Amino acid sequence: MRFGVIGGGPAGLYFSILMKQADPSHEITVVEQNPAGATYGWGVVFSVDTLSELRDADYGTWLEIDDHIVRWDALDIRYRDRDIRAYGHGFSAISRKVLLQLLQQRAADLGVELRFEEEVDGPDAFPDAEVIVAADGVHSKVRTALEEELGTETLEHPTRFVWFGADLAFDAFTFIFRETDHGLFTVHSYPFDESTSTFIVEVTEDTWRNAGLDQMTEDESLAFCQDLFADHLGGADLLSNKSIWRQFTTVRNRHWHHGNVVLVGDAVATAHFTIGSGTKLAMEDAVALSKAFVAHGDDLSAVFSEYESERQIPTERFQQAAIDSADYFANVSRYVGFAPEPFTMNLLTRSGRITHADVEARDPTIANRVDRWFHEDAVGADPSDRVVVPRPSAVPLQLAEGLELPNRVVATQAPRDDSSDGVVGEGTRAALVGAAGLGAGLVVTEPVAVSAHGRITLGSPGLYEEEHVATWRKVVDELHDAGTRVALRLSHSGRRGSMRPREGGLDRPLRGADRWTTLAPSPIPYTSTTPAPAAVDAQRFGDVRDDFAAAARAARDAGFDLLLLDWSDGYLLASFLSPLTNQRDDEFGGDLDGRMRWPLQVLDTVKGEWGGALGVRLVMDDRVRGGLSPDDGVEIARRLGERGVGVIDAVAGHTVPRGGGEYRRLYRVPLADRARNEAGVRSIASGAITTLDQIDTVVSAGRADLCLLDPSRYQQPRIR
């Protein structure tokens, strides 16, 4: 077959090599716009797994790569005056220039035609080729010409980075964090031969401008960085090779081929450099595509669909991990105040691919040091040489004066709508006891209403009659006996009240005599089938606040340990926060100050009556355009912290009935992270957290203090 390969980078060259290896009768031409031997950038990284894949794909190329590779196992983290070394990160790197030279040589030896300094705009350059392989990089012209057909998406990452070399060989993958008056500078550095390292400097857009780097020439910015990191460079020089400041572009394509054109490498998908995988992905694309050709010959549709189905899902996972990692570095200034131990765990687990358990497997010393620090910090013990300490999820938390949670795991129970007249139902009681039986340190109730009209359904529990207090008291005692602490989620349903049981779906309005007129800041119905609520008036502001006050007193009598005031899920207090639902023009609407005014009055009242540990279950993101954004959520959390709120249960959505979430593993942890590390309030993370290892990771990395566990994965009958 005749192949036209556009782009002579690792993907294009390696593909050509593999195809020639498989069948020397293929006619393959590679065109490259740069001269032979020219390259930009310095070293590239391979993991141990990638190398063994390269060995399987073509032993000859691997031998040559292996000859030039630098290997290391350690990872250094330098921030403030600390220098931390973690082991077990088997990586290797090679000079990009050497890699290209040896791939070019091998391709030429195998009879691939290489044409340099030739610019090609599109597939038309190879009129007689049966297959066009677009390997022309992140700014692929071939892709751009076909972006409609391919479903191309590109996303600019907000930070700025510059790719220098340094004429010294670090002996580990080295991260340097340097705080300056302009902001935080981050370095990602690794050796790629005996004497040279890649030295990438990354900053936020603000820092970049503050430091004046946007105005500097290439030489000036090199001098600036040289000077800034002089102590780490130890007299060595930074080296430039078209080293200009850039923004990283993430490229995605819905389809990886069109007609006889197929894309590989950065042309089809890029992964942010902070997980060091661009070249790895490119070469794996080449391997998969050549294998598909070997299997299906000239049946292009079979070849391309096999290639795409082989590569697309793993690549997307990598891209997601890369974005999570990149987000970490974009926001790392949040964490520079951490002690070295959680700082390290946070950095190592940033992409979501490595958990606490993985760190322990790679480097037990570091993991144990983190665990020991975490335990000592939590229980107030002096530093010791203990090795045997509880895993982070099992470490107690002093949440408030006199309130110690036995561990970091939170459990809850789904509503059952089996309460009657607000008296908590037997099924609900049993479910709460079941949740406590998991061993969680804290059990949180479903929304408990401050009044009959604050209920969601007729089967919702309440805390507004004498009998409710007595019944809750019994339940709370039972939960205490099971060894857990108990949080009351105190709520008023607002416009999501007067609904039918939720077994048949949410927000289906009651009919008949039982229904009531619901309350909201503005008379906007929740769905197309729910009646309009009444706007809260002066009388109701007082009445409802009194209901909250009475319920807070009742909560004390019932023996709850923590009161979580419900500012979430589109219920009454939450609906004041969002501009989507609060369109009042009085002092309780308008800007965030206005929208928070009444919920804060309620909070202050509850705080006074309750007197114990107080938290808020807070909607930090409406997930709908025009609604609360995570930035708004952080600001609200910050103000709550100033008001004496001790813990934020960080949640999202349901202010309005649209706005789905990501729902992937740990999807709401970033909100808890921001509440804790930007707003400065302890936080509860939730969102598809299904293992204790995930909780160990989240809490020991300092992203949250507590985690809501979905225990379903532990409840499958595997042992007979």
Partner 1 sequence: MEVRDEEPLVQIGVGLPSTVPGVDPGAIVEWAAAAEAAGCFSSIGVLDRMVYDSYDPIVSLSSAAGVTDDLRLVSMIVASPLRSTGVLAKEAASLHALSGGRLTLGVALGAREEDYEVADSDWSRRGRILTEQLETLRNVWEDAGIAPSAMRGTPDLLVGGLSGNAYLRVARYADGYVHNGGPARAFASAARKAHAAWQEAGRPGEPQLWGQNYIGLGDPEAGREYLLDYYAFTGPFAERIAQGLLDSPMAVKDIVRGYEDEGCDELILFPTTPDLDELHRLAEIVS
Which residues does the annotation mark as catalytic? 571
The residue among 104 and 491 lying less far from partner 1, judged by its C-beta, is 491
Q: Give which of 318, 317, 362, 323 is closest to 344, Cα–Cα.
A: 362
Residues 251 and 112: their CA atoms lie apart, in Å, by 28
The residue among 81 and 663 lying less far from partner 1, judged by its C-beta, is 663
Q: Give which of 547, 541, 562, 544 is closest to 645, Cα–Cα.
A: 562
Residues 335 and 543: their CA atoms lie apart, in Å, by 43
The residue among 136 and 306 lying less far from partner 1, judged by its C-beta, is 306
Question: How many distinct helices (H) and strands (E) make up the chain?
Answer: 22, 30
We find the least distance from the C-beta atom of residue 253 to partner 1, in angstroms, to be 11
The residue among 17 and 669 lying less far from partner 1, judged by its C-beta, is 669
We find the least distance from the C-beta atom of residue 136 to partner 1, in angstroms, to be 20
Which residue has 């996972």 as its token pair? 317
- Positive or negative CA dihedral for 192, 359, 284, 201? negative
The residue among 88 and 494 lying less far from partner 1, judged by its C-beta, is 494
The residue among 541 and 667 lying less far from partner 1, judged by its C-beta, is 667
Secondary structure letter of residue 234 according to DSSP: T
For binding to partner 1 (CB under 8 A), which residues are involved? Answer: 255, 257-258, 301-302, 304-306, 308-309, 313, 414-417, 446, 502-508, 511, 527-529, 569, 623, 651, 653-654, 657-665, 667, 687-688, 710, 712, 717, 719-720
- What b/e readout covers 197-208, taking b as 16+ CB neighbours within 10 angstroms? bbbbbbbbeebb
We find the least distance from the C-beta atom of residue 656 to partner 1, in angstroms, to be 11
Which residue has 């031997």 as its token pair? 37
Q: Which strands make up the sheet holding 183-191, listed edge to edge? A: 82-86, 75-79, 173-180, 183-191, 197-203, 160-166, 238-239
CB-based contact 592:635 (threshold 8 Å): yes
Residues 591 and 297: their CA atoms lie apart, in Å, by 64
The residue among 102 and 146 lying less far from partner 1, judged by its C-beta, is 146
Residues 627 and 619: their CA atoms lie apart, in Å, by 11
The residue among 415 and 422 lying less far from partner 1, judged by its C-beta, is 415
The residue among 159 and 694 lying less far from partner 1, judged by its C-beta, is 694
We find the least distance from the C-beta atom of residue 530 to partner 1, in angstroms, to be 9
The DSSP annotation for 40-73 comes to: -S-EEEEEHHHHHHHHHH-HHHHHHHHHT-EEE-
Report helix angle 340-348 to 364-379, nearest 10. Answer: 130
Q: What residues have CB less than 8 Å from 534, skipping those under 6 apart? A: 517, 518, 519, 520, 523, 540
Contacts within 8 Å (CB) and 24+ apart, 344-347: 344/77, 344/84, 344/86, 344/370, 345/370, 345/697, 345/700, 345/701, 345/702, 346/701, 346/702, 346/703, 347/77, 347/175
Residues 653 and 668: their CA atoms lie apart, in Å, by 11
Residues 177 and 179: their CA atoms lie apart, in Å, by 7
Q: What residues have CB less than 8 Å from 351, skipping those under 6 apart? A: 274, 275, 321, 322, 324, 325, 328
We find the least distance from the C-beta atom of residue 688 to partner 1, in angstroms, to be 4
- 228's enclosing H/E stretch is helix 218-228
We find the least distance from the C-beta atom of residue 622 to partner 1, in angstroms, to be 13
We find the least distance from the C-beta atom of residue 280 to partner 1, in angstroms, to be 21
The residue among 347 and 651 lying less far from partner 1, judged by its C-beta, is 651
We find the least distance from the C-beta atom of residue 468 to partner 1, in angstroms, to be 20
Residues 519 and 73: their CA atoms lie apart, in Å, by 61
Q: Give which of 452, 476, 646, 482 is closest to 555, Cα–Cα.
A: 476
We find the least distance from the C-beta atom of residue 99 to partner 1, in angstroms, to be 32
We find the least distance from the C-beta atom of residue 529 to partner 1, in angstroms, to be 5
Q: Give which of 412, 410, 418 is closest to 456, Cα–Cα.
A: 418
| AA identity, residue 544 | V
Residues 476 and 432: their CA atoms lie apart, in Å, by 9
Burial (CB count <10 Å: 0-12, 13-18, 19+), residue 508: middle
Query: How many degrees, rounded to 5, is the angle at CA 274 between CA 255 and CA 212?
Result: 110
| AA identity, residue 531 | P
We find the least distance from the C-beta atom of residue 482 to partner 1, in angstroms, to be 16
The residue among 446 and 561 lying less far from partner 1, judged by its C-beta, is 446
